[in-house]
Amino acid sequence: MADFSTSQAREEFEEQKKVVQELQDRLAETEIKVVEGENLRKKLHNTILELKGNIRVFCRVRPLLPDDGVGTEKAVVSYPTSTEALGRGIDILQNGQKFPFTFDKVFSHEASQQDVFIEISQLVQSALDGYKVCIFAYGQTGSGKTYTMMGRPEAPEQKGLIPRSLEQIFQISQSLKCQGWKYKMQVSMLEIYNETIRDLLSSNRSSNSDLTRTDSGTLGKQYTIKHDANGNTYVSDLTIVDVCSIKEISSLLQQAAQSRSVGKTQMNEQSSRSHFVFTLRISGVNEGTEQQVQGVLNLIDLAGSERLSKSGATGERLKETQAINKSLSCLSDVIFSLAKKEDHIPFRNSKLTYLLQPCLGGDSKTLMFVNLSPDSSSVGESLCSLRFASRVNACEIGIPRRQTNMRIADSRLSCG
């Protein structure tokens, strides 16, 4: 009797074990399918957006910082969990009222630099395939634009999108060598400060910060923005440096960081008061197939978008804030005109919009980050930024075009 019940129990146990194993296998299969499904969703989503020609918008909320002050930690930001809005929605609470927004992607304060980079790495890679790519960060002072774009280069896991993108580009260009591809890379870096372009890689810039704050760039240099028929942008007299390695770019980034104007406002100790534009031009030639590609990667850290009343700026700082507000309001004029499909788009109204013309009005793949501070005292600014970002997201700028041709056809054309 005892033997019978033991063997029955063993059989039941074996049966249960089989069921558990089957369930585990099915779970593993489903998990793989979910990952595959998510990858497919991302790919289709990207394709749809490319076909629609919209500017993509990613939103990123930074963590609360000790400097944010006591009483500002009240939760004003939340993330909807519904299937449609998961990972794409953000709700802002102001005076008991909830304001919902949806973007292509929303990163909470928990997102790491790597999490953010994974989402843009495909876009970065397309610069190597011959596309013009433009990524810019918009948001109030201290909301995490520079952290997102540059990060803290001294800590590897906190490196931002610029160093990560460049590392990826160099890695992939190396691995494409065996397929016959050779790439030439050129870097330029500029800032727009009080409506004046400054060359951040010029070797003969004045080191006197007061002088450089008020002069019109490096002496005798014009820095005129020009667009050619292919939608490529050039800035006259701007230093362009050939680069062969990530190490070379890193030292150029350091040089540029030292040259950047930084000032103090009530909102951020080390507030960057200028728009920073990093440009990498990529020319690729395939020795085997004679194919040529020309891509551009523009990475832009805009100056803080806070309103005058909040920044507490006076004197020189007030002038800067007014200039920043002017160029950012020109940017929003351009965005609104594009959204309304007006015949005339006022690109020429500011240096920033004229420089960005091919990214905003042309055939680039453009992505905007809207950065937010999570503290309750920033809720008004956050709403302004999110409303602007929603308009940007709705803008159709055209279908991205790849700049590629055959070397033979090219040389015939130039001979003829």
Select 139 or 217, whichever has its Cβ closest to ligand ATP: 139
Q: Is 122 annotated as a binding residue?
A: no
**141 assigned binding-site residue:** yes
Among the listed residues 120, 10, 130, 141, the one whose alpha carbon sits nearest the alpha carbon of residue 56 = 120
**Cβ-based nearer residue to ligand ATP, 157 or 210:** 157
Q: How far is the CB of 149 from ligand ATP (least distance, A)?
A: 8
Q: Give the shortest CB-65-to-ligand ATP separation in angstroms.
A: 5
CB of 8 to ligand ATP, least distance (A): 59
State the minimum distance, in angstroms, from the CB of residue 150 to ligand ATP. Answer: 8
**For residue 350, which of 367, 366, 328 has the smallest C-alpha distance?**
328
Q: Of 124, 59, 66, 65, which Cα lies nearest the Cα of 87?
A: 59
| Residues 91 and 100 sit within 8 Å (Cβ to Cβ) | yes
CB of 99 closer than 8 Å to CB of 383 = yes
Is 139 a known ligand-binding residue?
A: yes
Q: Which is nearer to ligand ATP, 213 or 402 (CB)?
A: 213
Q: Which residue lies nearer to ligand ATP by CB, 131 or 138? A: 138
Residue with tokens 């999108």: 161
CB of 121 to ligand ATP, least distance (A): 18
Least distance in angstroms from the C-beta of 327 to ligand ATP: 13
Cβ atoms < 10 Å from Cβ of 412: 10
72 carries a ligand binding annotation: no
Is 143 annotated as belonging to a binding site?
yes
Kindly state the helix (H) or strand (E) to which residue 197 belongs, with its residue range.
strand 196-199
How near is the Cβ of 143 to ligand ATP at its closest, in Å? Answer: 4
User: What are the distances in angstroms from CA 282 to CA 6, 62, 244?
Assistant: 73, 32, 11
217 annotated to bind ligand: no
- By Cβ distance, which residue is nearest to ligand ATP? 144
Query: CA separation (Å) from 303 to 44, 325, 381?
Result: 33, 9, 14
Q: Any known ligand binding at 214?
A: no
Side chain identity, residue 405:
N
Concatenated DSSP letters of 370-399:
EEE--SGGGHHHHHHHHHHHHHHHT-B---
In the complex with ligand ATP, which residue's Cβ is closer, 113 or 126? 113
Q: How far apart are CA 396 and CA 382, in angstroms?
A: 24
342: helix, coil or strand? coil
Decide: 241 and 200 in contact? Cβ < 8 Å. Answer: no
When the beta carbons of 60 and 281 are compared against ligand ATP, the nearer one is 60
Q: Closer CB to ligand ATP, residue 142 or residue 361?
A: 142
Binding site for ligand ATP (CB under 6 A): 62-63, 65, 139, 141-147, 268, 271-272, 303-304, 371
Task: State in angstroms the smallest separation of the CB of 106 from ligand ATP.
Answer: 13
H/E stretch holding 181 reads strand 181-193
Nearer to ligand ATP, 141 or 218 (CB): 141
Residue 263 among known ligand-binding residues: no
DSSP string, 96-141: TEEEEEE-SEEE-TT--HHHHHHHHHHHHHHHHTT-EEEEEEEEST
Annotated binding site for ATP: 139-146
Indicate the annotated binding residues: 139-146
